[in-house]
Amino acid sequence: MHKDIATPVRTKEILEKYGFSFKKSLGQNFLIDTNVLNRIVDHAEVGENTGVIEVGPGIGALTEQLAKRAKKVVAFEIDQRLLPILKETLEPYPNTKVIHQDVLKADVKEVIQTELADCEEIMVVANLPYYVTTPIIMKLLEDQLPLKGIVVMLQKEVADRMSAAPSSKDYGSLTIAVQYFTEAKTVMNVPRTVFVPQPNVDSAIIKLMRRSEPAVNIVSEDFFFSIVKASFAQRRKTLLNNLVHFLTEGKEKKHLIEQALLSADIDGRRRGESLSIEEFARLSDELYAHFKEA
């Protein structure tokens, strides 16, 4: 029986054997606590028919725990120095595959079709590099992938923003983008002590389960997101002020913005963070009608 990778001793052994040094630029923090890893796999509800996509496997600590339960695990690793290490640590698990590629540039849909075609459901499970958490999650959501959900470890503050409620300080355009596609819930906080090297931020695990339909029905998705972005452009400004200043042609079309707010029954003196996703949908559709007909 081989020892789990995710113990302080075994991790140290592996890193020393390969003379591996952490790259700050890649946000490398490896997990050294099997309990936490198992909790992640539990929350992701990985079973024998699950295909898993992992991003940033490091030396394979989470990959190993996923491989024990999943049908197959495909991991994207950007750091070439980790490839020989993963080849060794994952050798006992023939149901794993490491792809040396930046997930942000990868055709994930194609990887799912070729590597995970015989899996009944697809989950993304990862301990994400903190500096690219948001772009990775947004890519996975916007690429219309056949995912059941995403369970990832990330910076606590980002998890708070993704699962925030309206009128809270964490609520913003990221909240709306994530909750438009998924039901978001922070399932546990994770202490810094379970990582090597220890990060200087707190971590959390968030669970994003894909909705069968987006949270709201809107005329144009791109337009909706541009309205959301403009509404939060400067948090202290009123909704009307932000829309006038940050929408293309907002200044020339101020009267149209005012009309749309009126039709949507939303007070322009409110701030962006007080609007629910449903109110944003209503406002976006009204603005779309006023702008496109004008």
**Binding site feature residues:** 29, 31, 56, 77, 102, 127
Which among 165, 160, 157, 163 is positioned nearest to 178, based on CA atoms?
A: 163
Tokens of 293: 């007909």
Local structure of 184: helix, strand or coil: strand
Tokens of 45: 């509800």
119 DSSP 8-state letter: -
Q: What radius of gyration do the chain's Cα atoms show?
A: 22
* Exposed / middle / buried, residue 39 (Cβ in 10 Å: 0-12, 13-18, 19+): middle
Binding-site residue numbers for S-adenosyl-L-methionine are 29, 31, 56, 77, 102, 127
Cα–Cα distance for residue pair 258/254, rounded to 1 Å: 6
Cα–Cα distance for residue pair 290/253, rounded to 1 Å: 9
